[in-house]
Amino acid sequence: LPRTDLSGLGWTPHFARQLAEGETLTPARVAEIHRDRLVVLPGPLDLLAPGGTGAFAVGDWLLHDGARARRRLTPATEIARKAAGERTLRQRVAANVDALAIVTSANAEFSLPRLERTLALALEAGCLPLVVVTKADLADPAPFVAQARRLSPLVTALALNALDALDARRLDPWAGPGRTLALVGSSGTGKTTLTNALTGAAAATAAIREDDAKGRHTTTARALRPALAGGWVLDTPGMRELGLVEAASGVAQVFADIADLAALCRFRDCAHEGEPGCAVAQAMADGRLDEARLRRWRKLAREERHATGTLHERHARARAFSRLARDGQARARHKRRGPDAG
Binding residues (CB under 6 A) for ligand GDP: these are 134-135, 137-138, 161-163, 185, 187-193, 205
What does 161 bind: ligand GDP, Mg ion, none (CB cut-off 5 to 8 Å by kind)? ligand GDP
Beta strands in 195-329 (DSSP E): 224-226, 232-235
Query: Which bin fits 339, alpha (ψ -120 to 50), beta or left (φ > 0)?
Result: alpha
Question: Which partner in ligand GDP, Mg ion, none is near 308 (CB below 5 to 8 A by kind)?
Answer: none
* Torsion angle (degrees, nearest 10) of CA 257, 263, 265, 267: 140
Cβ-closest position to ligand GDP? 190
141 binds, among Mg ion, ligand GDP, none (CB under 5 to 8 A by kind): none
Angle, helices 291-337/112-125, rounded to nearest 10 degrees: 40
Q: For residues 143 and 188, which CB has a smaller minimum distance to ligand GDP in the complex? A: 188
Largest CA distance in the chain: 84
Question: CB 16 → Mg ion: shortest distance, Å?
Answer: 35
Closest to Mg ion by CB, 52 or 188: 188
Q: Which is nearer to ligand GDP, 42 or 238 (CB)?
A: 238
For residue 176, the minimal CB distance to Mg ion (Å) is 23
Could you tell me the smallest distance in angstroms from the CB atom of residue 205 to ligand GDP? 4
- Round to whole Å and give the CA distance between 126 and 210: 26
Q: Please report how close the Cβ of residue 84 comes to Mg ion at its closest, in angstroms.
A: 20
- Give the nearest residue (CB) to Mg ion: 192
Contact 169, 228 (CB under 8 A): yes
- Distance in angstroms (rounded) separating the CA atoms of residues 321 and 332: 16
29 vs 191 by CB, closer to Mg ion? 191
The CB-of-124 to Mg ion minimum distance in angstroms stands at 24
Choosing among ligand GDP, Mg ion, none, which partner's interface includes residue 188 (Cβ < 5 to 8 Å by kind)? ligand GDP
Q: Which listed option, ligand GDP, Mg ion, none, makes contact with residue 329 (CB within 5 to 8 Å by class)?
A: none
Pairing of strands 99-105, 128-134: parallel
Measured CA to CA, the distance from residue 130 to residue 142 in angstroms comes to 15
Question: Applying CB under 5 A, which residues contact Mg ion?
Answer: 191-192, 210
Judged by CB, which is closer to Mg ion: 10, or 190? 190
The site partner of 137 among ligand GDP, Mg ion, none (C-beta below 5 to 8 Å per kind) is ligand GDP
In terms of CB distance, is 191 or 293 closer to ligand GDP? Answer: 191
For the chain, list the strands marked E by DSSP: 26-33, 38-41, 45-47, 61-64, 69-72, 78-82, 90-95, 99-105, 128-134, 156-159, 180-184, 224-226, 232-235
Q: Are 76 and 55 in contact (CB under 8 A)?
A: no
Residue 136 CB, shortest distance to ligand GDP, in Å, is 6
Task: Write down the least CB distance from residue 191 to Mg ion, Å.
Answer: 5
Contact 41, 28 (CB under 8 A): yes
The partner in contact with residue 163, picked from Mg ion, ligand GDP, none with C-beta cut-offs of 5 to 8 angstroms by kind, is ligand GDP
| Alpha helices (H) along 238-290 | 248-254, 256-262, 279-285
Q: What is the DSSP code string of 167-200?
A: HHGGGGGGGSTT-EEEEE--TTSSHHHHHHHHHT
Which residue lies nearer to ligand GDP by CB, 180 or 192?
192
Report, in Å, the least distance between residue 195 CB and ligand GDP.
8
- Residue with Cβ nearer ligand GDP (137 or 172): 137
User: How far is Cα 119 from Cα 300, in angstroms, rounded to an integer?
Assistant: 12
